[in-house]
Chains A and B, each alone.
Chain A
Amino acid sequence: MTAPIRDAFPVLARAGFHYLDSAAMAQLPSAVVEAVAHHDLSARANVHRGLHELARRADDAYDGARQRVARFLSAEADEVVFTGGCTLALNIAALALGEKLGPGDRVVVSAAEHHSNLLPWLMLSQRKGFEVVSLPVDGDGRLRLDDLSLIDGRCRVVAVTHASNVTGAVTDIPRLAEAAHAVGAKLVVDGAQMVPHGPVDPRALGADLYAFAGHKAYGPTGIGVLWGRRELLAELPPVLWGGGMVGVVGPTDAEPLDPPERFEAGTPPVAQAVGLGVALEWMCGLDWPSVHAAEKELTRRLLAGLAGLDGVRVVGPPDLEARLPVVSFVVAGCHPHDLSHLLGERGVAVRGGAHCARPLMVALGLEEGCVRASLAPYTNRADVQALLDGLAHAIRVLR
């Protein structure tokens, strides 16, 4: 199943190389590399500004990329805002939705958030005076949704991750959408980890704004997406100002364009958007039921292998239900950084540390962080076995 998929990723052909760090950055299929290069060689121009031939080509490429993203999200093109990344998309969401918030208002996040979906709200709350509260997690890092009383009449926004970048636990977004909408709150979803594992329909999920990154979805760096319901985007103010996003500009004021351009101040990442469009089109061409079955089997193997190693404790759900193929763990007596270093020396790429999720580390009692192995459609059994073998070796070296 994975052989044809792996063939699309030249870097994976390196001997003795086992890439299990896709949750940090996925690898690029050749088609994306070629599309970006082709664009820069044949259509490099600014967009929505020029009238010459290259400018027309750039316009077509950029608008076409937006349509490809929209298809991936089962959305309309004017609901797709290109940003410089997921972090910027989430900051735009916070700044736009937070503009009218103040004392007495509440934003509900969760203890499982990546800093990108937490710090924008915390910092804004200091200026605006609203409160930020967190939904707790259980011992497996899953959001506890049995008590949603925090989402009450004061709540204006619920901002949560679709899937944890540490534990891989998938959040029940429809459940939270129901709770948020029942009190008139908007639901912001951080889809950075979910999107690399298949097309998403944020409207059907009940999200109001949905953000993701290109570099985790087999696309280039420097590109992200903020999807928003058309009617909501039309209400929100721009948070960045500059060229390309205004209509009438007077001596003391300016009138922003309609979405999505309203949120795309300055020259956008054109070639990166083109690359992302091709990446998502590549994803749409995969047989996702088969990919998910393969990912599940590899996750099962990994969890079983880890359980057989002395002193290893899995962080996050121990089972295969409602989870991504992202598995974190700690090893008694071995620091995650040392383990990651030793695995790296054996060609096994993983990530060790706090994973930009300090509140979750605290909630799970992981003062020294954890090691994360993150799988992708191109991961195979040899990758998982290399991790398990390398881990056994690392433990021997460190103890």
Chain B
Amino acid sequence: MSEELYQQAIKDLAAEASQRLEAPDASATLDNPLCGDTVSLDLRLSQGRVAALGHGAKGCLLCKAAATVVAQAAVGLEAETAVALADRVGAMLKQGAEPPLPALAAFLAVRPHKSRHGCVLLPFKALAKALGR
């Protein structure tokens, strides 16, 4: 079970380097008080879309991996679509919905572990918060 949760794809995502943006249009920081995960996320916006994204994640492997997915997938999305990702990832984890992004397939193994859902959701919630939700 642990090998599935901590599969190489997750570890590779978590190991990706991250960088904050200088002079972003919007930023947000969210904490997970349960485990101490913290995600800070910066955005540049252009014509209602995410034009650039930077982030810094201090947290567990799942949180860092999910933050990388956000960084890779959110650029180019309409703000409304990007905001909706948090709910769609929540539905994937809690209600058996399909992964809203191909890279999230690796996170299906998190479904049975309710206490870890928050780790995956945190970067997506930070994205929504940075976009004003």
Contacts and interface: CB of A to CB of B under 8 A. Distances in A.
A342 interface: yes
Contact of B2 (A336, A342, A352, A353): A342
Contact of A397 (B6, B34, B36): B6
A369 interface: yes
A353 B58 contact: no
Given A341-B113, A341-B116, A369-B36, A335 B1 contact: no
Contacts of B6: 338, 342, 397-398
B1 A397 contact: no
A354 B36 contact: yes
A105 interface: no
B2 A335 contact: no
A338 B1 contact: no
Contacts of A338: 6, 60-62
Contact of B35 (A367, A369, A394, A397): A369
A368 interface: yes
Interface string A339-350: 001100100000
A394 B59 CA distance: 17
Interface string B28-72: 000000111100000000000000000000111110000000000
Interface string B1-25: 1110110000100000000000000
A166 to B, nearest CB: 13
A352 B35 contact: yes
A368 B57 CA distance: 11
Contact of B59 (A335, A342, A345, A397): A335
A160 to B, nearest CB: 24
Which of A337, A394, A398 has the largest count of B CB atoms less than 10 A from its CB?
Answer: A337
Given A336-B35, A341-B113, A341-B116, A368 B3 contact: no
A385 B1 CA distance: 22
Interface residues of A, number: 17
- The dominant DSSP class at the A interface is helix
A267 B116 CA distance: 37
Contacts of B115: 341
A398 B36 contact: no
A396 to B, nearest CB: 10
B92 interface: no
B85 interface: no
A353 B36 contact: yes
B36 A368 contact: yes
B2 A337 contact: no
Contacts of B11: 398
B114 to A, nearest CB: 12
B58 A367 contact: yes
Interface string B81-123: 0000000000000000000000000000000010110010000
Contact of B3 (A354, A361, A367, A397): A397
Which of A335, A352, A354, A361 has the largest count of B CB atoms less than 10 A from its CB?
Answer: A335
Contacts of B113: 341
A337 B61 CA distance: 9
A55 B37 CA distance: 50
B119 A337 contact: yes
A335 B3 contact: no
A362 to B, nearest CB: 11
Interface in A350-366: 352-354, 361
What 5 pairs across the A-B complex have the smallest Cβ distances?
A337-B60, A337-B35, A335-B60, A369-B36, A354-B36
28 contacts: A336-B35, A336-B60, A337-B35, A337-B36, A337-B59, A337-B119, A338-B6, A338-B60, A338-B61, A338-B62, A341-B2, A341-B5, A341-B115, A342-B6, A345-B2, A352-B35, A353-B34, A353-B35, A367-B36, A367-B58, A368-B36, A368-B58, A369-B35, A369-B36, A394-B2, A397-B3, A398-B6, A398-B11
Interface of A: 335-338, 341-342, 345, 352-354, 361, 367-369, 394, 397-398
Interface of B: 1-3, 5-6, 11, 34-37, 58-62, 113, 115-116, 119
Given A337-B37, A352-B35, 20 more contacts: A335-B59, A335-B60, A335-B61, A336-B35, A336-B60, A337-B36, A337-B59, A338-B61, A338-B62, A341-B5, A341-B113, A341-B115, A345-B1, A345-B2, A361-B36, A368-B58, A369-B35, A369-B36, A397-B3, A398-B61
